[in-house]
Structure 1
């Protein structure tokens, strides 16, 4: 019988620091964009990051020693919350790991505005990438009046509104080409190409794994295209669950699918409101990606892999 994991934070920290550092040449043009992406090319919670933001790759001197320092900081950050959870549930044990999809597990391969413009040129789109990004932000920030949920089924009505508002183009062929592009492996890549080693180690140790994501029904094809769907025991998609993070319902559904109690699960995601607060409202433990957990790859701290932030189409 698989062994039960006690204090998953220590296991993750150990695993994260045993694999090679994140390769500095893995990002395009020597930079890593700080992007937060949605299933249709969105780059936003815009109060913090946008796809237009980029930072230089850190020097090699920021490597292993920096990751060890951050590892110690992580344990300190978690200490107070772990003590609080011990007061509620006793000694901390985690039987399940829930993982956010876009921005934590996967990221868009190109900035949203760039793809909108490049594909849109043959359909008459004339806006610059900056104009598209600004119009996108305004459109996405407006209430979606047709439903309390943005992502219903395949999300087409919502994304048609976003694309036409962002580009000024309502051509159905343009929309379909753009929409379908974000269902392919060309549009996405894994945040950490070596993440599979960590997930396999966790499953071997008896930890159940699930993806919890605000996404439409294209998430499953995306995970299959990236050949990572088999890493997980369950997938909770907002379009299927009919609840979007930070609504605790989606986290509770993930726990139900895994057959664990919420207090036995920890969720890792990059959005403090949607991932951390939402998961904790459901009774789960929660760690912030890029802060409490640096990355799924060892030797890679928040400062060394600064582009791993959230949410695209």
Structure 2
């Protein structure tokens, strides 16, 4: 059995997922303002706007003095502009509404097995924390989805000032957890940002890779989780 004292967790697509595609949520918001914009067009526009903003102002523009709220409002407005909506007053209203909507459980759902796995890990006496490339809305989202109670700390990239796979995020998490890296493991769905980055600081790593996605060639099978329910068996085997 692995001698673990701390488990850290990614959130998006590891513990929580969006209830519907971003384009659908944006299209519903547009309809509420009397606008008909195809969800597929909004999905494409969002990917373009989000990508451009992330390259120009990485990690929500923290190092450039921007707030994550302002960062997201700009992304939403640019998404609608790229999809053909240009009225400033409507853009501002829709951006504010969507920013608040994505802070609620209305837009997020807990992945199958997440609550049960977290509860079982707590019963084992493991300390647990979140390490996520998310903004400061995450604590509220986790609370509304009834997951916050499982964690000793929540470390977002906005709070840390660095985004995964930067090793400094994991080093901060280890300090918050009060354990050396060899007594900690990280669970996530992204090979570079979660699995490889955690192992680079000496932590153990588990990669959530649902069946059908195909194997990750650089990850030993015993480090791969077809479902979150496989985690406890992997820890006990390790």
Shared fold by TM > 0.5? yes
Matched with 1:97 is: 7
Counterpart in the other structure of 2:76: 163
Tell me, yes or no, if the aligned pair for 1:154 and 1:218 is still in contact at 8 Å. no
Q: Following the alignment from structure 1 to structure 2, what is the Cα–Cα distance between the partners of residues 289 and 106?
A: 13
CA contact (8 A) 1:151 1:216 kept: no
Alpha-carbon spacing, 1:130–1:148, altered in 2? closer, same or farther (3 Å): closer
Deviations 1:46-104 (A, max 9, x none): xxxxxxxxxxxxxxxxxxxxxxxxxxxxxxxxxxxxxxxxxxxxxxx222111101110
Contiguous gaps of at least 5 residues in structure 2: 211-223, 231-238
**TM-score, structure 1 normalization:** 0.61
Residue 126 of structure 2 corresponds to 207
- The number of residues matched between the two structures is 207
2:186 to 267, 277, 282: 267
What's the CA shift for 1:163?
1.0
Whether the 8 Å CA contact 1:144–1:150 is kept in 2: the answer is yes
SS of residue matched to 2:59: coil
Verify the 8 A CA contact 2:208 2:228 in the aligned structure 1: no
Root-mean-square deviation over aligned CA pairs: 2.0
Q: Is the 8 A contact 1:280 1:286 kept in 2?
A: yes
5 Å matches for 1:123-162?
123=33, 125-142=35-52, 144=54, 147-150=57-60, 152=62, 155-162=68-75
Which stretches in structure 1 are left out of the alignment for 5+ residues?
1-5, 8-92, 299-313
Structure number having the greater helix percentage = 2
Residue 229 of structure 2: which of 269, 286, 297 is its match? 297
How far residue 244 of structure 1 moved from its aligned partner, in angstroms, is 0.5
- CA distance in 2 between counterparts of 1:229 and 1:163 reads 27
Q: Are 1:276 and 1:286, in contact at CA under 8 Å, matched by a contact in 2?
A: yes
Higher normalized contact order (CA 8 Å, seq sep 6+, divided by chain length): 1
1:187 aligned to 2:107? yes
Q: How far is 1:145 from its partner? A: 6.6
* Cα distance change of structure 1 residues 217 and 143 upon mapping to structure 2, 3 Å threshold: closer
2:117 paired residue among 194, 198, 203: 198
Counterpart of 1:178 (choices 86, 89, 98) is 98
Secondary structure of 1:288 counterpart:
strand
In structure 2, C-alpha distance between the alignment counterparts of 1:134 and 1:144, rounded to whole Å? 15
